[in-house]
Amino acid sequence: MDISSQIQTVLILALPVLFAITVPAVVRGRVASHFGDQTAAMMGRLTLNPIKHIDPIGTLLIPLVLYFATSGALLFGYAKPIPFDPRNLRNPKRDLLWVSLSAPAANFAMALAWAILFVLLRATGIDEPFFVQMAQGGVLVNLVMWAFNLFPLPPLDGGRILVGLLPNGPVPNFLARIEPYGFFIVMALVLAGVLGKLWLQPLMAAGYSIINTILIPLVALLR
């Protein structure tokens, strides 16, 4: 892929990536607020204004570097962390599970929304490549974020979901001890190709299958 094509693809993916990173962060903050933690609300972070959530490294630099370094094979980023104190939750173990589920759920919902947009564009005869590819990119980016964040290792949401599902004992204690190193472990698995082959690809295939199944009535209606 030449540089001009890569730049064009970056422009197409810019909006989907921005939404895929910031919207789940806001959803997580609002769910936390619902269950008793008002930290994000008090700090003015429960807003969809992307400027409030952009992290220069995680939202801008890392996605661009990964995209160009891997010729588009890997695209990942993160927003500025939403302030969150689980001690404020009314039922910390149960409520943390819902807070952790909220962001991946938001990514999957956005993947479905972009897929619906793609179907509507096709049904109405709009074949402008920029918009069609943006809709396709929106599905891809959100499914990547959905699958990635469900990996069962903290600080990813999947790790916290696992802790919430397991009874108190050695496994949750072990996960808590390795959490400070979790992101580096995950990135090492990504670079080694293990995470992509054994986790991302199967989960994303399942995600595409679920979305296609959900869209069957809409596609049939628009024919």
* Euclidean distance between CA atoms 128 and 204, whole angstroms: 26
User: What does the pLDDT read at residue 74?
Assistant: 63
In the chain, where are the structural domains located? Answer: 3-222
Q: Which tokens is 159 given?
A: 């790790």
DSSP characters over 6-21: HHHHHHHHHHHHHHHH
A 10 A CB-CB count for 205 gives 12
Q: What is the pTM of this model?
A: 0.89
Nearest Cα neighbor of 158 from 182, 187, 184 is 182
Tens digit of each residue's pLDDT, the chain (223 residues): 566 776 777 788 888 988 888 899 899 999 999 999 998 888 888 888 877 777 777 777 777 776 666 665 566 667 777 888 888 999 988 999 999 999 999 999 999 999 999 999 999 999 899 999 999 999 999 999 999 899 999 888 999 999 889 888 898 899 989 989 988 898 888 878 888 889 989 999 999 999 999 999 999 999 8
Q: Which pLDDT value is given to residue 69?
A: 64
